[in-house]
Amino acid sequence: MATFEESIVNQRFRMVYDELEQRELIKGKSDIAKKLGTYNHIINSILKGQRNITLEQLHKLFENFNINANYLFGISEELFLDGTQAPTASIPARPREWHTAVGRQNITLVTQKAVAGYALEHEDKTFLESLQRFSIPDMEGELIAFEISGDSMLPTITNGDIVICEPLDSNTPLRENHVYVIVTDGVVAKRIQQIRKRNKITKLRLISDNDAVYKPYEIALEEVRQVLKVKCRLTDYAIS
């Protein structure tokens, strides 16, 4: 028998709550509780996976915030009824020729040929030192750049783009529906959603922007070797 925290509706409600809070459409649990005709401790219990959200509360959620019911039931990845992905956080783009060998050379480039090696040896200093390095004006810190192959993240990331990423430690909070590079046995750039069990994140749902062709899939958290935040992309294509 499925537990409360395993319910797709409860999991999606937590994502909706996080998104509404990030967009400053609600001011915490008490605020959304009032709009859903319930109490702060009820919302807290739903978010912790200790009870189910009721049908009446769902109706009020749809009415007050224009939430897509199909999103709550796991049928659609569009959170709002106006068709706006939640959120479609854009990635700052720069012309590819901006990268240069001049300066501190603080960015390590992982080409398409080196991606498989990076998945296995991203903690190996000797391997990393064997890779090409470059710099970009105004981008500081030790960063990793990946050359992207394929069309799964169109139109956000184009085949051949280079995404500049900041490696994150395991304690860094992740933002729902933002783009990260996820390292497992391979390396992919995807939007992520966090799946919780007993209020603990156990899986990541990986989502392609080209969702007409590539469907979301889930990976267990223990499969993840590294997560990197995508800060910008270098592209040969027109920048709007």
Helices 55-65 and 8-22: crossing angle in degrees, nearest 10, is 30
Which token pair is 41? 């401790």
Same-domain check for residues 170 and 216: yes
Which token pair is 37? 């005709």
Q: What residue has token string 């991606």?
A: 115
pLDDT at 138: 81
pLDDT at 89: 57
CA 134/CA 127 separation, integer angstroms: 16
Q: How confident is the model at residue 160 (pLDDT cuts 50, 70, 90)?
A: very high
pLDDT at 191: 92
pLDDT at 85: 47
Q: Which residue has better confidence, 144 or 209?
A: 144
In a domain, 24, yes or no: yes
Does the pLDDT value for residue 238 go beyond 70? no
Q: How confident is the model at residue 5 (pLDDT cuts 50, 70, 90)?
A: low
Same-domain check for residues 55 and 100: no
Same-domain check for residues 215 and 119: yes
Same-domain check for residues 47 and 125: no
Per-residue pLDDT tens for 14-55? 989 988 888 788 888 999 999 999 999 999 999 988 999 999
Same-domain check for residues 17 and 114: no
Same-domain check for residues 54 and 118: no
Per-residue pLDDT tens for 194-206? 888 877 889 999 9
Mark residue 237 as left, alpha or beta (left: phi above 0; alpha: psi -120 to 50; beta: remaining): beta
* Domain region containing 202: 93-235
pLDDT average, residue stretch 145-149? 96
Give the pairing type, strands 107-110 and 143-147: parallel
Same-domain check for residues 65 and 24: yes
| CATH number for the domain that contains residue 8 | 1.10.260.40
Give the pairing type, strands 179-183 and 187-197: antiparallel
In a domain, 240, yes or no: no
In a domain, 79, yes or no: no
Counting the structural domains of the chain, the total is: 2
Helices 40-47 and 8-22: crossing angle in degrees, nearest 10, is 120
Same-domain check for residues 102 and 67: no
pTM: 0.69
Peptide bond into 155 cis (omega under 30): yes
β-strand partners of 203: 195, 220
Same-domain check for residues 140 and 201: yes
Same-domain check for residues 145 and 58: no
In a domain, 153, yes or no: yes
Q: Are 167 and 228 in contact (CB under 8 A)?
A: yes
pLDDT average, residue stretch 112-131? 95
Same-domain check for residues 42 and 114: no
pLDDT at 87: 44
